[in-house]
């Protein structure tokens, strides 16, 4: 299983770790991969999967079994969703990022204002089941499916909304129906509809100019305006790697475990030292 990189994926697992035995969760990690999970589906807010088990004569299991495992979160009512959509649709910071399929950093705030939660908050948020003979809940298959779900949340955080009873398509449609959402969607459609004028070449071509009179060497090599005698060095950036940080800690192309801004700050620092040495 790959490391969980996003804050919402980490929060999902953190909620599970609050009320689950750590050793049992550790065993479940080995089940969060394609070798164990034969198939899975998310439908009506429930994640169900068929998971390969182990032979266990102690439980009377002599052939490799396949267990039916399912996870769901406590659903948010339609009335509460209407209030949440009204709150999200009246804040440009929330709705603009959601319409761009991005998860806002403080998405939990509007939920907390209504005494609700998007991410799991306690054991009462989880509803789980497994056909294995293990009487403990969660069993290692459920734990493995939770880790598998957290990795999917890394790729698509909008699955959280579906687990709470509202599909991503329904969420975006309801947001577009709000006054601010309609205005933002219209502006975005106009921007996408704009066409660019074709050009003959992507490269700048030189243009010939006619000299008004004879040109002397002094006129050619000297300018009527003197260049500055000293060049003022640029000030050091107050926030190192600012443009890199705007792209997030783990952009889509970055596969390393360490955040990209951290690496780039070290690169920029080395370049600055090299320039000073010159």
Tell me the residue range of the domain where 86 lies: 7-188
Residues 252 and 119 in one domain: no
Domain end point (choices 164, 188, 212)? 188
Residues 24 and 108 in one domain: yes
125 found inside a domain: yes
Residues 17 and 137 in one domain: yes
What's the pLDDT score for residue 232? 63
272 found inside a domain: yes
Mean pLDDT of the chain: 80
Q: What is the pTM of this model?
A: 0.60
15-46 pLDDT, tens digit per residue, is 777 767 777 777 777 788 778 888 999 888 89
227 found inside a domain: no
Residues 89 and 184 in one domain: yes
What's the pLDDT score for residue 87? 87
Residues 167 and 52 in one domain: yes
Domain tally for the chain?
Answer: 2
Residues 104 and 28 in one domain: yes
Residues 50 and 119 in one domain: yes
CA 17 to chain CA centroid, nearest Å: 22
Residues 148 and 250 in one domain: no
Domain end point (choices 166, 188, 210)? 188
185-212 pLDDT, tens digit per residue, is 776 666 554 555 666 666 777 777 777 7
Give the Cβ contact number of residue 241 at 10 Å: 19
Give the confidence band of 183 by pLDDT, cuts at 50, 70, 90. Answer: confident
44 found inside a domain: yes
Residues 36 and 121 in one domain: yes
232 found inside a domain: no
276 found inside a domain: yes
Kindly state the average pLDDT of the residues 93-108. Answer: 82
Residues 13 and 128 in one domain: yes
223-262 pLDDT, tens digit per residue, is 666 766 666 666 666 666 677 777 777 887 888 888 888 8
Domain end point (choices 168, 188, 208)? 188
Place of tokens 């090599």: 221
Residues 268 and 157 in one domain: no
Cis peptide before 138 (omega within 30 of 0): yes
Q: What's the rounded Cα separation, in Å, for the pair 60 and 16?
A: 30
Residues 11 and 113 in one domain: yes
256 found inside a domain: yes
199 found inside a domain: no
């Amino acid at each position: 299983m790959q490391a969980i990189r996003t804050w919402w994926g980490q929060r999902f697992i953190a909620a599970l770790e609050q009320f689950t035995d750590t050793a049992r969760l550790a065993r479940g990690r080995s089940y969060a991969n394609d070798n164990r999970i034969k198939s899975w589906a998310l439908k009506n807010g429930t994640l169900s999967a068929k998971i390969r088990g182990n032979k266990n004569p102690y439980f009377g299991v002599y052939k490799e079994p396949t267990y039916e495992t399912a996870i769901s979160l406590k659903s948010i009512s339609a009335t509460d969703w209407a209030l949440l959509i009204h709150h999200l649709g009246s804040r440009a910071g929330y709705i603009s990022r959601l319409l761009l399929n991005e998860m806002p950093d403080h998405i939990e705030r509007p939920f907390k204002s209504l005494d609700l939660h998007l991410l799991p908050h306690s054991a009462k948020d989880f509803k789980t089941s497994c056909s294995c003979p293990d009487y403990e809940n969660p069993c290692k298959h459920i734990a493995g499916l939770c880790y598998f779900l957290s990795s999917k949340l890394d790729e698509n955080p909008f699955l959280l909304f579906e687990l709470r009873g509202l599909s991503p398509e329904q969420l975006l449609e309801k947001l577009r129906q709000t006054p601010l959402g309609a205005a933002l969607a219209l502006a975005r459609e106009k921007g996408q509809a704009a066409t660019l004028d074709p050009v003959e070449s992507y490269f700048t071509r030189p243009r010939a100019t006619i000299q008004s009179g004879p040109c002397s060497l002094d006129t050619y090599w000297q300018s009527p305006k003197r260049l500055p005698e000293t060049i003022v060095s640029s000030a050091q950036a107050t926030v190192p790697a600012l443009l890199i940080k705007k792209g997030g800690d783990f952009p889509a192309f970055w596969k390393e475990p360490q955040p990209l801004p951290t690496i780039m700050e070290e690169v920029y620092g080395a370049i600055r030292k090299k320039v000073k040495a010159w």
